[in-house]
Structure formats: structure tokens, C-alpha cells
Homo-oligomer: A and B are copies of this chain.
Amino acid sequence: MKLGRLNHVGVATPSIAASIAYYRDVMGAETIGEPFDLPAQGVTVCFVDAPNVQVELIEPLGENSPIHGFLAKNPAGGQHHMCYEVPDIHEARAWFERQGAKVLGEPRIGAHGTPIFFVHPRDMNGVLTEIMETPHGDRH
């Protein structure tokens, strides 16, 4: 395992619309994607581009959204997870399991269309960590 690029920082928000206005008007983001739903993950997401990395805005979608608990503790939203790229999702999953880290479920297709999984923060230095197979034909 070699530390890959940080694809995005996930930021939970009670309102993607308000967060888009903030990133556009206060932070000066020039490239902000259209929000889209990921029903299987219970979130609506929207990517904001910084020059070297993205911010993934995530808003709860549905009653069972996994981020309701986070927003209950952090009503204004806040940093939720960090997502690193790997060349091969299955090798990465096996690696983390060999380290004794708690991998949360099977790899599934994430917001960028490539497989991802999450690893429990208790085994990741306190940070909920998403591992994502590098998109093919990625701009980076």
C-alpha cells in the first residue's frame, strides 16, 4: 500500500443549496457540479473543485441516511470523511483487512462511478476514510 492522492474531503451539510452559495460567493469556487442523488448510500452529493482536490458536499437523502447522526451532533455540518485513491479496490480491501481495520461492507460504486468502500474511523486515526479506485481517464 502506497498513500494515494486525496480525491476529496467529504463535508456534511444540512443544505447543499446553502453550501453551494457559500463555496461560490464566499470561497470563490468557480467549478461546482450539479447535485445528484445516490439513493443506495442515502445521500445527495455535489462536488466543488479546488485546484488540487475536490470537496464533496453530502446532504441526507431519506429517513435512513447514514449522515443524520453526524448532523444531529453537528447541526451546521462539518468535515465528515477523507477519500484516498487506490489503483485496485480489491487489493486495497484485502490490505486493510490484513491490518485488522474494520472495512464497512463490500466495494460498491461511488459518486465518481468507480468502486469504493469505507473504513471505520476507530482504525483510521479517528478519521472515517473512504477508499476509491482511481477513475480511468482521470484528469490527474
Contacts and interface: CB of A to CB of B under 8 A. Distances in A.
A76 B28 contact: no
A60 interface: no
Interface residues of A, number: 45
A94 interface: no
Interface in A8-34: 9, 11-13, 18-19, 22-23, 25-30
A3 B22 contact: no
Interface stretch (A35-43, A105-113, A122-130): A122-130
A4 B51 contact: yes
B125 A77 contact: yes
Given A22-B125, A26-B1, A50-B84, A9 B11 contact: no
A6 B53 contact: yes
A133 to B, nearest CB: 16
A5 interface: yes
A2 interface: yes
